[in-house]
Amino acid sequence: MQLYDMHSHILPGFDDGAKTIDIALSMLNCLKKQGVANVCLTPHFYTNEMSAEDFISSRAESFEKFRPYLPDNMNIVLGTEVYVTRYLFSNDDLSGLTYGKSNYILTEFAYNSSFSKKTMEYINNLIDIHGLIPVLPHIERYHTLINDPALIRELKNMGVIMQTNVSNYVKKAPIFKRHKMIKLVGAGLVDILGTDAHSFEHNNPELYLQAIKYITEKCGQRRVKIMMNKSEKIFNAAMGKTE
């Protein structure tokens, strides 16, 4: 079974993630040793701070500097963690912010969001007007969501993909959080996993395999395979592969 990290901040020297190429390579090699050969680099884009054009240009420049150092036998996709504000919709074309060549886009909202009418309008705008499929990162940070599985189902019925961080499923995570997240996984409400790794101190990529083992123990290998199959679909689309 192929393993995927669908959310990371490993692109070096760009945002608050890996500070240097050496650190970024250590993080990728850490994932590779755990059998994770498919990694998405998704640096932050704060839509209220800079233009999409400037972000895409700067990200491309950082990636070109990093490209010659990428480890062999790893598949790397470039994407974006987009902080959604009204400024995002001043852009007619958001395709440069998606996972690679796909129409999937990693979209973050304020953590205190209640997923009100305005937030739902933003999500519908992404889907209906821009033809994109939102991927909601680290849903565990939205108290409204994790305390309301019915709302998660509503979003999933709209087409939104749910991502959680592997740090929720390891021994050092608070036990009440682990139990809550495992229930969501078991109910099929978590679609994909990511490290959200910024460094070895902030969302340590070393935790990936520990999380997979815990989820397998509690929910079964079939549930892990379903999540990896969903990741594979997004990843292949990002690489321009057709089904």
> Which tens digits make up the pLDDT trace of 59-87?
999 999 999 999 999 999 999 999 999 99
Phi, psi of 146 (to 5 degrees): -70, -15
Q: Provide mean pLDDT across the span 159-169.
A: 98
pLDDT higher at 134 or 242: 134
Cα separation, 87 vs 57, whole angstroms: 18
The pLDDT of residue 241: 87
CB 176 within 8 A of CB 214: no
Write down the mean pLDDT value for the chain.
96
Above 70 in pLDDT, residue 243?
A: no
Above 90 in pLDDT, residue 242?
A: no
Mode of pairing for the β-strands spanning 192-194 and 81-83: unpaired
The pLDDT of residue 98: 98
**146, two tokens:** 């994790």
Q: Provide mean pLDDT across the span 203-217.
A: 97
Residue type, 37: A
Q: Provide mean pLDDT across the span 225-234.
A: 98
Cα separation, 211 vs 4, whole angstroms: 13
Q: Tell which residue, 10, 3, 14, has the closest CA to residue 200.
A: 10
Cα separation, 232 vs 169, whole angstroms: 21
Q: Provide mean pLDDT across the span 11-34.
A: 96
The pLDDT of residue 183: 97
